[in-house]
Chain A
Amino acid sequence: MQPFSGLSLLKRGLTGQRGWTAQWRHPEPKSAYDAIIIGGGGHGLGAAYYLASEHRFGSVAVLEKGWIGGGNTGRNTTIIRSNYLFDESAALYDHAVKLWESLSQTLNYNVMFSQRGVLMLAHSVHDVQVSKRHVHANRAAGVDNEWLTPEEAQAFCPPLNIGDIRYPVLGAALQRRGGTARHDAVAWGYARAADALGVDIIENCAVTGILRNADGSVAGVETTRGPISARRVGVAAAGHSSVVMKMAGVELPLESYPLQALVSEPVKPVFPCVVMSNTIHAYISQSDKGELVIGAGTDAYTSYTQRGGLHISSHALEAVCELFPMFRRLRMLRNWGGIVDVTPDRSPIIAKTPVPGLYVNCGWGTGGFKATPGAAHVFAWTIARDEPHPINAPFTLERFRDGNLIDEAAAAAVAH
């Protein structure tokens, strides 16, 4: 692997940016691996990286049906925060925030993690009560979160219109350690670091079946590029988790919905933080390129189309224009959708499955990007040791049978 440093950047910069080499190989799939990860997004690539780096888990391959980072990793609004209500969730997401804080150094790849603060607005008495409950629960769990008055919120985010709107801002919860990261760089950074440790990243390789031994355990996968055997298979297929897991006869409590996002034309730096409003439903931040990154809601119906109804994104834009009147004349550049797999309690599943040797990391719904390093880390642990890490132990498939739900219905910040 070609290491990046200030010196190497300067040297290449002075010589016309020539001489850079490909950041990861494009190997042909081998006939067998010790572990296969299905899904080349941040969660899958990260799991492969931690399998190779922390667990020294023999040979590992990541199979991606399209190109790496082309699914939800490249489609989200890049928001990172950990101010979830329940202890189990706060522990999981804060594990991720702690890994985010050193991820660029760990991977020798700048993921542009920016802890610019995430402001979550309250527009009603109910919002205020729920937000304050979150703040208190987070502080008791050791996760930073603080309550701001409307004036303090406006001081933190000057473009915010707190008064002259249909649903005035009555206050806000602020997590200062929250922020954004460059989502493509997360996929590329994990891919490059995993590749350097010998992980084979195989793109354009869709899994079409899961092979089983006579005793029911996993024997490998059938793919569009031929069968590959493996003794452990981890599924990190996001919106298509149901489809992949059905190949092994495992039915999941998931429904897949399109979730939309859009970006504006790029403008000079005008927006200092991330603002989210659950009630009137919009979230917004500004990328380092200058585009405003705007998150809309999910469509009402399940779908695999990676697009959504225009009225859903229009609704988010109306909310943004009301909260930030200065954006009313801004033009939108692109919009798109991603398929998110939603669980009944809006918490993920990172667990063993009824099939020995088959593991699943799914159900992240609308909020999987923020958890990328943490989820990948505990998923790799679960695969390597055939038992969950203490942090993901509550996030089982069996919790829906046993009634141990982790009911973060409010946590995804989406009006479900």
Chain B
Amino acid sequence: MLLIDCPYCGERPELEFVYGGQAHIARPAQSAELSAQQWSDYLYRRDNTRGPHAERWRHTHGCGRFFNALRDTTSDHFLATYRLGETPPRAPDESAS
């Protein structure tokens, strides 16, 4: 089980959280003007990154708030967690981590 550092509550077990998928996907403002391909990309296409992955979590059984995390999907190691609206921290160099 992962230990996740909620930016509001601190470190808590994974069971308190719900995963929210890839982060920083903005809903297009003018969705009616999108082509079918653009709409499909928004709905379905995901980076599925192998390596540092920016993703959403919600501390459902805690403060209830959404936040973002940078996690290495090759090790499940959390590189950082940060609040909504903040820019994602740069992934540290693989050799340094």
- Residues of A bordering B, CB below 8 Å: 240, 242-243, 251-256, 300-305, 309-311, 341, 344, 400-403
Q: CB distance A254 to B46 under 8 Å?
A: yes
Q: How far is the CA of A304 from the CA of B37 in the complex (A)?
A: 28
Q: CB distance B73 to A303 under 8 Å?
A: yes
Q: How far is the CA of A344 from the CA of B44 in the complex (A)?
A: 7
Q: CB distance A401 to B36 under 8 Å?
A: yes
Q: CB distance B44 to A305 under 8 Å?
A: no
Interface with A: B25-33, B48-56, B87-95, which one?
Answer: B48-56
Q: CB distance A255 to B40 under 8 Å?
A: no
Q: CB distance B1 to A302 under 8 Å?
A: no
Q: How far is the CA of A335 from the CA of B1 in the complex (A)?
A: 15
Q: CB distance B71 to A301 under 8 Å?
A: yes
Return chain B residues, CB-CB under 8 Å to A240: 50
Return chain A residues, CB-CB under 8 Å to B43: 344, 400
Whether A303 touches B46, Cβ cut-off 8 Å, given contacts A311-B1, A311-B15, is: no
Q: Is B11 an interface residue (CB 8 A)?
A: no
Q: CB distance B74 to A305 under 8 Å?
A: yes
Q: How far is the CA of A400 from the CA of B44 in the complex (A)?
A: 7
Return chain A residues, CB-CB under 8 Å to B8: none
The CB with the most chain B CB atoms within 10 A, among A240, A256, A400, is that of A400
Q: CB distance B1 to A309 under 8 Å?
A: yes
Q: Is B2 an interface residue (CB 8 A)?
A: yes
Which residue in chain B gives the minimum CB-CB distance to A254?
Answer: B48
Whether A304 touches B74, Cβ cut-off 8 Å, given contacts A401-B37, A402-B36, is: yes
Q: How far is the CA of A255 from the CA of B55 in the complex (A)?
A: 12
Return chain A residues, CB-CB under 8 Å to B15: 311
Add 10 more A-B contacts to A242-B50, A252-B45 (CB < 8 A). A253-B45, A254-B46, A255-B21, A255-B46, A300-B14, A302-B55, A309-B2, A311-B14, A341-B48, A400-B40
Give 7 nearest A-B pairs by CB, closest first.
A253-B44, A242-B48, A300-B19, A401-B40, A301-B19, A400-B44, A344-B44
A375 to chain B, nearest CB (A): 20
The CB with the most chain B CB atoms within 10 A, among A251, A401, A402, is that of A401
Which residue in chain A gives the minimum CB-CB distance to B46?
Answer: A255
Return chain B residues, CB-CB under 8 Å to A300: 14, 18-19
Q: Jot down 16 A-B pairs with beta carbons below 8 A, ordered by A.
A: A240-B50, A242-B48, A251-B45, A253-B46, A255-B21, A255-B48, A301-B2, A301-B55, A302-B55, A304-B50, A305-B73, A305-B75, A311-B1, A344-B43, A344-B44, A403-B36
A308 to chain B, nearest CB (A): 9
Q: How far is the CA of A413 from the CA of B10 in the complex (A)?
A: 35
Q: How far is the CA of A181 from the CA of B21 in the complex (A)?
A: 34
Q: How far is the CA of A304 from the CA of B76 in the complex (A)?
A: 8
Return chain A residues, CB-CB under 8 Å to B41: 251
B19 to chain A, nearest CB (A): 4
Which residue in chain B gives the minimum CB-CB distance to A240?
Answer: B50
Beta-carbon contacts under 8 Å, B48-97 to A: 48, 50, 53, 55, 71, 73-76
Q: How far is the CA of A243 from the CA of B44 in the complex (A)?
A: 16
Return chain B residues, CB-CB under 8 Å to A311: 1, 14-15
Q: How far is the CA of A309 from the CA of B1 in the complex (A)?
A: 5
Return chain B residues, CB-CB under 8 Å to A403: 36
B66 to chain A, nearest CB (A): 15
Q: CB distance A256 to B48 under 8 Å?
A: yes
Which residue in chain A gives the minimum CB-CB distance to B35?
Answer: A401
Which residue in chain A gives the minimum CB-CB distance to B17?
Answer: A300
Q: How far is the CA of A301 from the CA of B1 in the complex (A)?
A: 12
Return chain A residues, CB-CB under 8 Å to B40: 253, 400-401
Return chain B residues, CB-CB under 8 Å to A344: 43-44
